[in-house]
Structure 1
């Protein structure tokens, strides 16, 4: 009778959950396909180059340039395809030796503290400008006083003045210029009817925005910070990709779009002329 475990008992346990778990790249690719997005769409929404997106989906993190950048790309891509980045980051740490050491906070804020000093006002130039303004005002007052006194003398010695009539349009052959409309709070209110005009405003945060015209030409590709706006115009169609649609307020052809976009949602929109219609 032998003492101890049999060879069968010494066999290692199989980690079924680890084997069943898909790779990081496979999980990102499946989530992108489920969201109906192409690699180009993800690259446009996140500003991560197409080659890096494709490499990550193939579980090749070498093009990222290091663990810090790889983790940052994973977080950005996961949010773009509506995937929770936390499990992917934990899986990456398990497979690549743990989370990297945090970067010291001091150098990050050094750039904020080092700012060029504001120069004080140039009092010499200000005094010269004030003297010139005073001399000009005095000269204008003297000339105006002489002309007013001459006009009064002429009225006292001549016939009574008559009311000046406005010349009719037919007399000179020209119609009077139409009064200019009062400026509105937004330039989108003056959008022409024969074009499509889209104003994108980051009202509740910041968001990546990409805009193309009807020919597919890229009009804008960048980050709108909170409080910033961009206006795009085309003869027939504007295509938009919003990285965080919940932070965006849209005005299309002079009308506010009240779609209930969710925070963090990636939206692909198309607008045409006339009443706002999402394509």
Structure 2
């Protein structure tokens, strides 16, 4: 007969707090099933590729391409299946070494000064110059026609009142009609057909943006603050990565992209010549 604790009482205390907590992928998968959604449904709702959704549900974050993208995907997927993303992000940071430090702005600007990017033609300036030239030519023709007609009626003490004449036929009927187009929109609309032109504007907040040409050469890698914009041009293809796609407005080959990007969503996009289509 033993005195003291029984063998059952001598078993080591089992801390099940961490063991009972499901993995990130398991939590997302269970929430998706509970919401009655398939992987295809989640991919369509979030614009996150099916392969990445499946990998995250299997706790494989390598296809995300880094901690910044993984955290963005987790936030987007959690909201799609009606989960609070904060606990999942905290769990991810605990398991992967903490939240990534933000990229300091100064080194980015320093890098741009050291390695100036090779820019394409400034189509905005060209269009503004063309509009000014046309307006100046029409105005000069009208003034010249009025001067020629008024000179015949000139008397001592100053020119007599004359009735304003219409421009001579040599003006080519180029009298401007209607309001002048906004120079920026005109430049976008006049994007050359033999190139792909992409304008990225941070309209609803700030976002990290990276852009590469068809050779994989980095055109830009930095933070766009709200109100800032960048224009990229290549002979065949522009590859984009948007850190917060919901804050971005895109114009591609002269056309506005009306995709409903979600706030905080990370988007990888490719555009080519012609009608804007995501590659």
The two structures have a TM-score, normalised by structure 1, of 0.48
Secondary structure of the 1:186 match is: helix
Deviation (angstroms), 1:161: 16
**Structure 1 residues 158 and 248 mapped into 2: Cα distance closer, same or farther (>3 Å)?**
closer
Residues 155 and 161, structure 1, Cα contact 8 Å, conserved in 2:
no
The whole-number CA distance in structure 2 between the counterparts of 1:181 and 1:113 is: 34
Q: Does 1:157 align with 2:161?
A: no
Deviation (angstroms), 1:169: 12
The whole-number CA distance in structure 2 between the counterparts of 1:183 and 1:277 is: 25
Deviation (angstroms), 1:189: 2.2
**Structure 1 residues 48 and 116 mapped into 2: Cα distance closer, same or farther (>3 Å)?**
same
Residues 242 and 268, structure 1, Cα contact 8 Å, conserved in 2:
yes
Long gaps (5+) in structure 1: none
Deviation (angstroms), 1:9: 1.3
Residues 196 and 235, structure 1, Cα contact 8 Å, conserved in 2:
yes
The two structures have a TM-score, normalised by structure 2, of 0.48
Deviation (angstroms), 1:87: 3.4
Note the 1:97-108 alignment, pairs <5 A: none
Give the count of matched residue pairs: 279
**Structure 1 residues 38 and 180 mapped into 2: Cα distance closer, same or farther (>3 Å)?**
same
**Cα deviation code 1:30-87 (max 9, x no counterpart):** 9999999999999999999999999999999999999999999999999999997743
Deviation (angstroms), 1:262: 0.8
Residues 79 and 264, structure 1, Cα contact 8 Å, conserved in 2:
no
Deviation (angstroms), 1:162: 15
Deviates more, 1:28-37 or 1:226-235: 28-37
The whole-number CA distance in structure 1 between the counterparts of 2:127 and 2:188 is: 43
Residues 237 and 270, structure 2, Cα contact 8 Å, conserved in 1:
yes
Secondary structure of the 2:156 match is: helix
The whole-number CA distance in structure 2 between the counterparts of 1:138 and 1:196 is: 33
Superposed CA RMSD in Å reads 12.1
Secondary structure of the 1:184 match is: helix
Structure whose CA Rg is larger: 1
The whole-number CA distance in structure 1 between the counterparts of 2:120 and 2:214 is: 50
Deviation (angstroms), 1:252: 0.4
Residues 124 and 183, structure 2, Cα contact 8 Å, conserved in 1:
no
